[in-house]
Structure formats: C-alpha cells, structure tokens
Structure 1
Amino acid sequence: MAANTAYGTAGSGTVEAQEGGAYLGENAYYYCAMQAAPPHPQWDGLVGQRKELINEVGDAWANGTVLHYYFFNQASDVQRVHMSDGSERLYSWVGADEQLAIVRDAFKKWSDVGIGLRFVEVNTRDEAEIRIGFLQDNTSWSGVGTNLLNKEYFGPNERTMNFGWDLRRQPDTAIHEIGHAIGFEHEHQNPFAGIEWDEEAVYQDLGGPPNNWSRQMTFNNILQKLDRASMRGTAWDPDSVMEYPFKKGLIKSPRQFFQDGLRPAGGLSPKDKQRALALYPMLAERPQLLSTAQSVALHVKPGEQLNFQVTPEETRCYDFKTFGTSDVSMVLFEEEGGEPRFRAGDNDTGETRNAALRVKLIKDHKYILRVRVYYQERPAQCALMMW
C-alpha cells in the first residue's frame, strides 16, 4: 500500500502526514501522548488464564454500543496555560470547521469496517462519551475504551480526546485517537513485536523538540511493553494505524528499521480491520428473547457477547443477575427513537460477586441486554436470569 501523505506548512517547514504522529521535516515527529490509564485494583490479585482473558478485553465497550461524540464549541471552552516566562494565556478547545470534518471522516472510516459499534455526533456534552477538544499544544491523545467513563479521570466538562496539531498535517491522527477510544493500544508497545530500542537515543529524541517529553512520558508511550495478555491478536503489525512512525537510529532491531526508520503505510491496515471485527463483530439482526424467570446458559467463548431482547409485560422493578464463577460485563439499553440508550450496567471482573442489575422497566418498552463474558470457571455451570 502506498504511503498516505498530505502536505501543508508548520512554521517555516514542510509537513508530511504519517501515522500516529505528524512529520515536521528533518525526521521530527509530533506523537500521540497517552496519559497513564486508570488502575484496576480489583484485577491485581488475578493469575493465570483468568487474568489473561480479563486483560484482553477488559476495557472494550459492549458490542452494539452507540458512542456519542461532541466537539467543544463554546467561547468558554478554554484552558489557562502557564507560560515559561511566568505569564498566563487562555487557549481554546474549539476546533475549526475543517478540523471537525477530518474527525468526522475518521469516525466514518472506522464505521465502514462494518464493526458493531456506531458513532453519533451530538450537540450537548452531557450526551457524549467522547468529548473532543483542539487545544493546540502539540499533544494529541485519547482515553482508552470504557476508561472514558471514569469520572475521576474525565469530568463531565473535560475532554476525553484532544487534537494538538493541525490535522491537515496528518488525518490519520484522528483515526489513531478513535482507535484508542474504542479500546486499542499503541502497536509499537506490542510485546510480540520483538523491537529492541536504543533507549537513551529514544529518551534524548523525545525529550527535545517538538515533543519535549519527560522520561516517564517517553517510557509510558514508547518503551514500556504492554501486558502480553492485553494484546488483541499477537502478531505485530508495523502498518497499523496504532503504530508510530520512527526515524532511523532509534530501533536497533529489527535491523531494517534502524537503517531506514519505520514508516507505516497509512490508514487502517488489514490487520486493524481484522482485530476490530473480532472485538466488535456485526450484530445479528434479532437478539434472543429473555423472559421472566428464564435461566439462560452463557455458552460463549471468552470475550464473546450474548444479546437479549427484553420486553416487559408490566411496569415494575426487574432483577438481572449472572450465576456461577465468571467475569462478566452486563449493560442494559432502552430503544429510544430507533437508538439504544444506556440505562444501567455492572461489571464484576476480578471480583468475587456476580454482575447484577435492578432496574425499573416500562411495560411494552423495548430493551436490549448485552452480556460480554470474559471468563468462566465452569462454562456449563454459568447462567443469566431475569425475574
């Protein structure tokens, strides 16, 4: 596949588009600067297969989720920045129309893969799981998967995604950050990649312009290997949209990247699409009907999902609960205007209890219960019931 390149200007230099970062000429790149993910203390004591299976899909959305995205658009959407000379300046989170258009197109590219997630733009931040700003600080980033819902990290008026440079330099930056938002990590941190770094050269390069990263930021985003169990697919994909470009001299092995640098092909790679479809396959048109006092065995492979239609015969509170030793994420949606709207959810991964919901349902309204199973100690003895 030919390299996906676009040209513009940044300062006095020519700008060439590349994958997770923007190429500024003279082998200088701006990179996606991920923050440390929220901890999962309930997972700390897990071992063996259970830990591996939870890590692999732990931050994934329930398949079939409609993710709403919002662009900050108010004059008050600003951030106070302390300058090196001691002064302060206000910088806007509002993006220009051409920047918004590039992000919308990036959402469409993920949708065109045929995944089970949907993306809908909304006009109020209260509705949005993905809140997008354009603070031009040369850092682009996004929260990962369901971590976007962590209110300790992302308040209701805070960004969950930022684009810190002109996306005309690199439209693939938007595809990359949306990849994080649906649960994918940096590809060069894949423990199966076999990359051997010249670590001091990496620290020196990223510690200087244009990124000016601390050693900890560089370690978190480049040198640190992800947990082997957390990788969706094992083979390294150097053409992934989640891969950074790197100039020559930073990667000692494989040798060709030391001599030539690493330049991903551009856009979503075939493996990107394959992994996305494995995690979020197209949903069946008609989910299974779940009736009151009915026990349903959870006969699925680890990471797979069951979907149930619920149409209550009377208005009252209903209970949903899993039984058996398992790790499950359970989410209830109500169909509203042809779109599933979140009503309640529970996730028991890493805990000794079972996922359970108690929700008031309205007679003849239509609901969808989505149950993603991470782990079952005895698959034939795990079940779901509604009463």
Structure 2
Amino acid sequence: MSAETARPHCDLKPQSRPVLRPDLAPRRERLIRMLRLKWVNGTVLHYWFLEGPGPQQDAVRNAFQEWKDLGIGLEFAQVTDRSEAEVRIAFDQADGSWSYVGRDILSINATEPTMNFGWDLTDDYGRTTALHEIGHTLGMPHEHQNPFAGIVWDEPKVYEYFGGAPNHWPPDQTLHNVLRKIDASEVEGSSWDPESVMEYWFPAGLIKEPARFQGGLKPPGGLSDADKAWVLKFFPTLAPLVPVLKPFQSVPLSLAPGGQADFSLKPEASREYEIATFGTADTVLVLFEEVNGELRFVAGDDDSGEARDSRVSAKLFQGRHYVARVRLYWAGESGQTAIMYW
C-alpha cells in the first residue's frame, strides 16, 4: 500500500447519551459525561472470537497483550463460550472495522458482536487497527475529533474522500467519524495527539489547518506516549494488597474524580448482604467474586446524577473471597463518601 493509497478506516459505533437531571451543577454533569464509559479498574474483560482465521485471531490476542504489557490494572481473558464474554469479536470482511466504546458494550445483545475487523491485521496497519479498536473498548474516542485539536477541514474533499473506495461512507457516516467534534464536556481538556493510535491516517488535501498537515497526517502506528499515559491514568497498576472491609464498619473514602477504592470481602456467614456507598457523591460500585483465581462480575450499580447512593444486593458465601470496587465521578458538596456492607 503506497503512502497516498486510500485506506479503510474505523467506523465508530454511536455512543449512548445519559439522560441527566437538568438541575445538575455543570462540573458534576461534566465529570459524569467524562467518566461514565470507563471501566472500574481491575475489571477482567473476557473476549470471544466468532470464528475468523487463525492469524487474525493471533493479531487481536497480541494487541490485547500489548495494552496489558503497559502494566494496566485491567485484565483480558479469552473464553470459548460467547455467553461469558463482554467483548465479542467478529471478522466480517464486508462490514469494515469498528467497536462500541467502553461500558456501552454491556448494553449490546449477547448474540451480537461488540467489535469487528474487516481487513487484514497481519501487517503494520492491521496491528494498529487491532490496538485502535481495543482502545475504543477501553473507552477512547477518535483523536482527530478532540475539540481542542484545532483542525480546519476542507469539508467537501473530506466527504468526497470517504465517500469513495474503500470506505464508501454516506455523508452522515463521515460526519460522525471525522468532522463531528466531541463535546468538550466529555474530554479532559487534553491537547491533540496526532501520533495517537486513535488517530486516523489522512491523505494530502483534507486538512487546511494546522498547516503542517496539509500534506497529510500519517501517524507512526502503535501506541503513542500520550496513549500510554492515558490508559495508565485511568487503569493504573493495582495495589497487591487490598484492605478487608468488615461487616457493619463504615469506611470513609476520600477520592478525587476518577479515583477508585478497592476492598476485600470475606463473609463469615452465607446469607444475603447489602453493599452501599453513603454521601452525596456519584459513584460506580461493582462486586466481584474470585473463581479459580480470577475475579468474576457478580453485580454493579451506578448512581451518577441521581439523588441516591450506589447499592448492591447479593448472596455471599462463607469461605469465598469477594472484591468490591468503587470509582468516583463527583465527590459531592462535602467531598466525602463512605462504603459499608452488612
């Protein structure tokens, strides 16, 4: 493929839009929108292949491993049963390459894929494509749609380029994937990274400004330094020791937005338990059970934007090990919250 040959591009699936109360303070709303699709750190994302050639599957496995090798707290595990997978991967060559974003994959019917690869993944562009689609599943958007990028497009040429081979996109698809700017409330104000794995390759003539990209934007491929910093910020290496949360003992949480607290639960009796946060904060609370050395999802709750607390009800069994994880969106007026189980 020559430098100026038209390339196929990722077709990002539309993201869900939370329906929030109109009276939310602007900062509270911004934090919810920015963090709502991020996984609780320590989550094990199980992936499953819908057939597909062996070399293609190997390329995806390698891409998952490349993300994991950064030292992130997320885990990736291949499963052979579709019903056990949050990430379901197809290789339909007639459907392009695409993914849903972050926790949106949990709302997709279990019979449907959440990610597809529509071209060869065994060359350098394919390796970057695999990393790119996994990046979407981690919660990353397209980098060129960063509202702080300052890109000025030659819009007629953009529509013409993406309307032709090999993408054949109608105008609304080009608008969604290229020209539309992400709402500034959903990003952290970070500067544009033209070397990001989430950045498209663009030929000459589509970008008017910045002037240095008038001759084309050609990311080097692979993960940039900014990509690595982003994923380690949201999913840092987990602490080896997790404090034990004892029944009926409230533990205060002092977390910054996006921060997380993890607790080990070792119930002394088998019965129904309640696990909840307390305070005016917006949080995601997720409960996992350790099964054969791996944490498996039991239940979760998200109280963001609502006048209530995150709360999980579940039967816990004596002698088994559980982990509760709390990720904070907004710390509330007091800046404090707490967790307890009983």
SS at match of 2:76: strand
Q: Pairwise CA RMSD of aligned residues?
A: 1.4
1:139 counterpart residue number = 96
Match of 2:14 among 22, 36, 50: 36
Q: Is the 8 A contact 2:148 2:189 kept in 1?
A: no
TM-aligned CA deviation for residue 353 of structure 1: 1.7
1:44–1:339 Cα change, 3 Å: farther
TM-aligned CA deviation for residue 257 of structure 1: 0.6
The CA deviation string for residues 75-107 of structure 1, in whole angstroms up to 9 with x for no partner, is xxxxxxxxxxxxxxxxxxxx1111111111100
Match of 1:149 among 101, 106, 119: 106
Stretches of structure 2 that go unaligned for 5 or more consecutive residues are none
Q: Is the 8 A contact 1:138 1:165 kept in 2?
A: no
Match of 1:61 among 20, 39, 47: 39
1:103 counterpart residue number = 60
Counting aligned pairs with the same residue, the percent is 47
Q: Is the 8 A contact 1:134 1:162 kept in 2?
A: yes
1:272 counterpart residue number = 227
Aligned residue pairs total: 340
TM-aligned CA deviation for residue 362 of structure 1: 0.2
Match of 2:169 among 200, 210, 213: 213
- Cα distance in 2 for residues equivalent to 1:156 and 1:144: 16
- Cα distance in 2 for residues equivalent to 1:289 and 1:43: 36
SS at match of 2:229: helix
2:119 counterpart residue number = 165
Once the two structures are superposed, the pairs formed by residues 221-370 of structure 1 within 5 Å of their partners are 221-232=177-188, 234-258=190-214, 260-370=215-325
- Cα distance in 1 for residues equivalent to 2:114 and 2:48: 10
SS at match of 1:175: helix
- Cα distance in 1 for residues equivalent to 2:5 and 2:28: 43
1:363–1:138 Cα change, 3 Å: closer
Is 1:186 the equivalent of 2:142? yes
- Cα distance in 2 for residues equivalent to 1:325 and 1:178: 34
TM-aligned CA deviation for residue 118 of structure 1: 0.7
AA aligned to 1:268 is L
- Cα distance in 2 for residues equivalent to 1:44 and 1:211: 39
Q: Is the 8 A contact 1:297 1:384 kept in 2?
A: yes
1:7 counterpart residue number = none
What TM-score do you get using the length of structure 1 for normalisation?
A: 0.85
Larger proportion of strand? 1
Match of 1:126 among 83, 86, 109: 83
1:113 counterpart residue number = 70
What TM-score do you get using the length of structure 2 for normalisation?
A: 0.96
SS at match of 1:41: coil
